[in-house]
Amino acid sequence: MDQLLFDYTRQDAQGQSCTAHAWAKVPAPLSTAQRAALKTEAAALLKAHNAVLVAHFYVDGDLQDLALETGGIVSDSLEMARFGRDHAAQTLVVAGVRFMGETAKILSPEKRVLMPDLDATCSLDLGCPADDFTAFCDAHPDRTVVVYANTSAAVKARADWMVTSSCALEIVSHLKAQGKKILWAPDRHLGRYIQEKTGADMLMWNGACIVHDEFKGLELELLREQHPGAMILVHPESPQSVVAQADVVGSTSALIKAVVEGTAQEYVVATDNGILHRMRQLAPNKTLIEAPTAGNSATCKSCAHCPWMAMNSLQGLIDCLKLGQGQIELDEPVRIEAKACITRMLDFTAALKAGVPQPQAGLVPHIGAA
Ligand code: SF4
């Protein structure tokens, strides 16, 4: 890992760090009556614009509920991509972070893709600038380039495969079986986890999610002593010391499934705490405990909640539909190039679901199946 970590305290033009800038844009909490009124208005606008809401598990609970109540979806990023592509609505409103909106647009260029706040980004995306990444790839032309979904369209355009945390293990195992050496970006923790599980030859970019990177192994050990019967659920973007203590390591969907189907009464959850909303709805009798982040006397950048996910609001959704703002636009050549690696992943996962054996024929980097 010879790349430098992105500096999240870096100052922008306003003299703010990027996380401080994001927190400053998170809307203040609303009263129950205000929330109900905004939800009603938002639902009417979605209907009037023939739009569908595609939301991530980490966004505000009202947005998650609104998505489900209006025929949209709340899911992980893999399902969001599939749902947006396959839905008949000509306007997709993506409540999540920018790479999710870009993925929707890449797959459905004919649709209007709106986001409640286009500034909602991701530390993994920020920490993997396209020019630096291209230079990294150029320096290792013998490697198949696999990128996590949490990257810009320009980075995806340089990749052979895109993966999400739902399918990364299967895809990397598949590439290893073909004898491929892998260049992996940007999350170093997820990359390490997959490398350990598959034994693949992986050269890593040195990025991290500011939310998961802050979960602490030592504090988790202490918490487990207080809750000896609890099941430990960990997203693989977390550090090794946290993953090592997990009963279940998986994507957001996998962690929700573990709570719903688990026989334990208590669950310690090491992922963004926005997920607790859906977990509580689906498993109301289970006890959910947030995994510790920075520990006593320390500070945290996220405290287990992503500031960019938190920027999504009902008012932002109303504004983007009413005013047509927050629209995702992409350069067509970049979109076409980026689409190849996403389509490859979607085809692979669809075949996996259908039980179709994967072809062993080689892939030609940046071209496709040989
Ligand atoms: S939770 Fe982490 S990976 Fe997800 S959008 Fe926020 S910074 Fe990115």
Position 2 scores a pLDDT of 44
Residue where the block lists tokens 């592509």: 85
Q: What is the pLDDT of residues 258-307, one digit of tens each?
A: 999 999 999 999 999 999 999 999 999 999 999 999 755 566 777 899 99
Residue 368 above 50 pLDDT?
A: no
User: How many Å lie between the centroid of ligand 1 and the Cα of residue 325?
Assistant: 23
Terminal CA-CA length for the chain: 30
All domains of the chain, ordered by start, with CATH?
18-122+308-323 (3.40.50.10800), 129-207+337-369 (3.40.50.10800), 212-305 (3.40.50.10800)
Any idea which residue has 């009464």 for tokens? 265
Q: Which residues of 140-175 are buried (b: 16+ CB within 10 A; e: fewer)?
A: eeebbbbbbbbbbbbbbbbbbbbbbbbbbbbbbbbb
For ligand 1, what atom is nearest to the CA of residue 272? Answer: 1
Tell me, in angstroms, the distance from the centre of ligand 1 to residue 290's CA: 17
Beta bridge partners of 327: 114
Mean pLDDT along residues 202-223:
95
Choice from 17, 308, 311, 312 to test ligand 1 binding pocket (greatest atom count within 8 A of CB): 308
**The ligand 1 atom nearest the CA atom of 212:** 2
Average pLDDT, the chain: 91
- The residue nearest atom 2 of ligand 1, judged by CA position, is 209
Scanning the structure block, which residue is given the tokens 């983007």? 320
Question: Is the per-residue pLDDT at 141 higher than 70?
Answer: yes
Span 23-35, mean pLDDT?
Answer: 94
Indicate if the pLDDT at residue 222 is higher than 60: yes
Q: What pLDDT shows up at residue 360?
A: 41
**145-193 pLDDT, tens digit each:** 999 999 999 999 999 999 999 999 999 999 999 999 999 999 999 999 9
Residues 256, 127: Cα–Cα separation, whole Å: 28
pLDDT digit string, tens, across residues 322-357: 999 999 999 999 999 999 999 999 999 999 988 875
Amino acid of residue 302: S
Closest approach atom of ligand 1 to CA 124 = 8
